Chain A
Amino acid sequence: MNSMLKRLHENYLTGRKKRTAAVISVRVLILVAFVGLWELAGRLGWIDVLLFSYPSKLWDQLYTTMLDGTLPPHIAVTVMETAAGFVLGTLLGAALAALLWWYPFLSRVLDPYLVVLNSMPKVALGPIFIVALGPGFLSIVAITLSVTVIITTLAIYNRFRDIDTNYVKVVRLFGGSRSQVFRLVILPASFPVIISTLKVNVGLAWVGVIVGEFLTAKSGLGYLIIYGFQVFNFTLVLSSLVVIAIVAAIMYQLVALLEERLTRGWRER
């Protein structure tokens, strides 16, 4: 009997391992096939090389600009703008949500304005920021904030209101004040949501930063894309896109890691 249980368990485990291995193999296969086909299509002239370039040209471009030190500063600028954008966006959004929670009157007054602001394409405000704050870092971060803050505020405020009032009651029954209720219940109970808006904001911040750089910048990956477009160097455009994909993925993974560490032990009943 025992040996049968063991055998069944082992079969189950090997079956699982096989399926995981299959998934990973297919993933790699897709990437290799895509890059291979692209390379082939470029070299054999199936596609217009001027427009679509091909992988080994991208690689050469990245390799040389990394080595001669012209690419890293652009990456640094964009990463800094994006990080500032999503961290500040989340903090400001959380602060606004706290304000709305503290003053229910304010929240009722502002509700329609927030809805309108949320549904409007905020990157359209870009030119105003550039005029008001000058072209450069500040206006790009401002554009990023305009993309991230409202949606963050709404998400976090909704979470604040969703919290089971019995947790609030527990603190009130000990004679707790409103600020204690906020600090001991509302904020910690919303922590997972705040962290997950941080993750969403990584993606939104990239949109804000790249659009901002399109509009105004003298450096950054968005600037490289626009510059490459203007001089018709699509190898530059595509290689910048590849860098963006890689850096964005790393950033997302870092935030996911942070989430994992900060919410360890935490589990909703």
Chain B
Amino acid sequence: MRPVLELKHVSHVYVSEKEASLAIESVDLKVQPGEFISLVGPSGCGKTTLLSLLAGLLLPTEGEMLFHGKQVKGPSTKVGYMLQQDYLFPWRTIRENALLGLEVSKQLTDNAGERMEQLLADMGLDGVADRYPHELSGGMRQRVALVRTLMASPEVLLLDEPFSALDMHIKLQLEDLVQLTLTRLGKTAVLVTHDLAEAAAMSDRVILLGSRPGRIRQIFDIPPDIRELPPTAARRSAGFQDLFDSIWSELEAEEGEEADSP
């Protein structure tokens, strides 16, 4: 199968007044259609840089970043992105927020409203379209942000710790909802997270990154019996703890090495 996203020997350098620093070095990665992968690793491993590259917000200093075999030159509606917080515009109603992507890309059609109502209803958000963001709870707002991203019909979703600002039980609910929705719509997804359990429970593959400079350290394929369960059930399944422990010990080892080096 041809990958949706492909990184070929990608390196990225940040230049500031103080220095030029290598954020990620020679990363090779293929993301297959319909796949859900997670990027985990210690801070400074370039998770977010990698996600920004995939989104087209940054361009690689070296190497190639391909979407369906074509070089990425900037952000597009084909690749959706969910931020850590919802960042709904407080001056717009939920409806206007959800339709923002289509408005920006000038694809606003008559039936968009219907589609949006349907998506909101799928997320358990009936009857909020005319409310303002401040009238909704954090979990509801993050769901609206997901609708906003999905309305632009992206093929790939990039998730930048979208659950990290939420309470535990809402976070678990949303993990299930997001995975279910993405599977149903056949979307490809790349999740960046601090939470190893979240990565293991949601993904098909977990990619552990090493830091300074960021590079791929190890790839874990999640066994099918865990992969096919919704995240909350996966967390409770038999092999989950062992899987978690093996990722955990690798991450510990990586952080240990980092601490040893000057």
Contacts and interface: CB of A to CB of B under 8 A. Distances in A.
Main secondary structure of the interface of A (DSSP, over half): helix
Interface stretch (A31-39, A163-171, A199-207): A163-171
Given A172-B57, A173-B57, A167 B89 contact: yes
A188 B92 CA distance: 9
Interface string A153-179: 000000000001011011111111000
Interface string B100-144: 110111000000000000000000000000001110000000000
Nearest to A181: B104
Interface of A: 164, 166-167, 169-176, 180, 184-185, 188-189, 191, 265-269
B83 A170 contact: yes
B134 A174 contact: no
B87 A166 contact: yes
Interface stretch (B72-80, B194-202, B247-255): B72-80
Interface in B231-245: none
B101 A188 contact: no
Main secondary structure of the interface of B (DSSP, over half): loop
Contacts of A188: 89, 91-92
Contacts of B75: 172-175
Contact of B100 (A169, A171, A191, A267): A171
Contacts of B89: 167, 170, 184-185, 188-189
20 contacts: A164-B87, A166-B87, A167-B87, A169-B57, A169-B83, A170-B83, A172-B57, A172-B75, A173-B57, A173-B80, A174-B101, A175-B77, A175-B104, A175-B105, A176-B104, A184-B89, A184-B100, A185-B89, A188-B89, A265-B132
B223 interface: no
Contacts of B133: 269
Nearest to B131: A265
Nearest to A166: B87
Interface in B15-53: none
Nearest to B101: A174
Contacts of A269: 90, 133-134
Given A169-B87, A174-B75, A191-B91, 7 more contacts: A167-B87, A171-B100, A176-B104, A184-B103, A184-B104, A267-B90, A268-B90
B105 A174 contact: yes
Interface of B: 55, 57, 74-77, 80-81, 83, 85, 87, 89-93, 100-101, 103-105, 132-134, 152
Contacts of A266: 90-91, 132
A204 to B, nearest CB: 27
A65 to B, nearest CB: 46
B83 A166 contact: yes
Name, among B89, B93, B132, the residue most crowded by chain A CB atoms within 10 Å (CB to CB).
B89
Contacts of A268: 90
A185 B97 CA distance: 12
Name, among A174, A185, A188, A189, the residue most crowded by chain B CB atoms within 10 Å (CB to CB).
A174
Nearest to A187: B91
Nearest to A176: B104
A189 B104 contact: no
Nearest 5 pairs of A and B residues by beta carbon: A174-B104, A176-B104, A174-B101, A173-B81, A267-B134
A189 B103 CA distance: 17
Nearest to B76: A175
A203 B76 CA distance: 47
Contacts of B91: 188-189, 191, 265-266
Contact of B85 (A166, A171, A175): A166
Contacts of B134: 267, 269
Nearest to B83: A166
A169 B59 CA distance: 15
B236 to A, nearest CB: 35
A174 B77 contact: yes
Contact of A174 (B85, B87, B90, B100): B100
Contacts of B57: 169, 172-173
A167 to B, nearest CB: 6
Contacts of A170: 83, 87, 89, 100
